[in-house]
Structure 1
Amino acid sequence: MQILVVDDETDVRDLFQQRFRREIRSGEWSFSFAFSGEEALDFLRQHHSEVLIILSDINMPGMSGLDLLGHVKEEFEMPPTTMMMITAYGDDDSHRKALALGAHDFLSKPVDFAVLKEKLAHLRPA
């Protein structure tokens, strides 16, 4: 399952690769990383049919995760099956906006990787 992680903090790549080492090695999940909303859109334009899940930070310089969510829903006829928003600010307004724009889930930072793995396991195709 291909997952695109979008976060302006570059150390997130090492964190995900460490926390999902076993799943990556087994080929269960494959991760790609974008460090801005604009970079994520470029990646999706090139690999659209491959990405099944987007995990995006909300607060990023330039294009926010909410802006990215809106662009993905507008631009792609068949958007990724699941979009989860991740933020350090678990405010109700961001949560409402994300859900209104079509986000499927909302996670707070620091990410609880046990909870994330459980959520991803439920999304795995049978």
Structure 2
Amino acid sequence: MSVLILVVDDEADVEDLFRQRFRRDLRAERFQMEFACSAADALARVAEASARSLILILSDINMPGMTGLDMLPQVKKIRPDVPVIMITAYGDDRTRQQAIERGAMQLLTKPVDFDVLRRAIDTRIEQVA
């Protein structure tokens, strides 16, 4: 089964970083990754991916225009079955609480601990297998 992970971040180098960190998984076609550079782009992709196997969304919080926190409830309306992990440079208790209240499964702080993220991805893949 081909499963999709959507990464939402306005920073251009994020795609290169994630592709590098997960290169073996991507080459082995364990999962696919798509990248959205804004919350609006992400919402369009989530709506389009409804027929595909979207299993996880990883989203930055601080983005121009619509923030990740503002996007989160809208994503959950479209795809309540897809967990969202929020990523932020500001992992304070208030931000964590807002993310969880709006439907996030987890909040990771930057720099991202890719071992923690890999475990979350592995767990999600096992859940949908």
Q: Give the structure-2-normalised TM-score.
A: 0.90
Aligned to 1:56: 59
Q: How big is each residue's C-alpha offset from its partner over 1:51-108, in whole Å with a ceiling of 9 and x where there is no partner?
A: 210000011110100111011123x1x4342100000011111110110111101100
Matched residues, number: 124
Structure 1 residue runs of 4 or more that deviate by more than 3 Å after TM superposition = none
Distance 1:64 1:53, change over 3 A: same
Is 2:74 aligned against 1:71?
yes
Alignment of 1:1-126 (within 5 A): 1-50=3-52, 51-74=54-77, 76=78, 78-124=79-125, 125-126=128-129
Unaligned runs of 5+ in 2: none
State the secondary structure of the residue aligned to 1:43: helix
Q: Give the structure-1-normalised TM-score.
A: 0.93
Unaligned runs of 5+ in 1: none
Give the distance between the partners of 2:102 and 2:63, measured in 1 at CA: 17
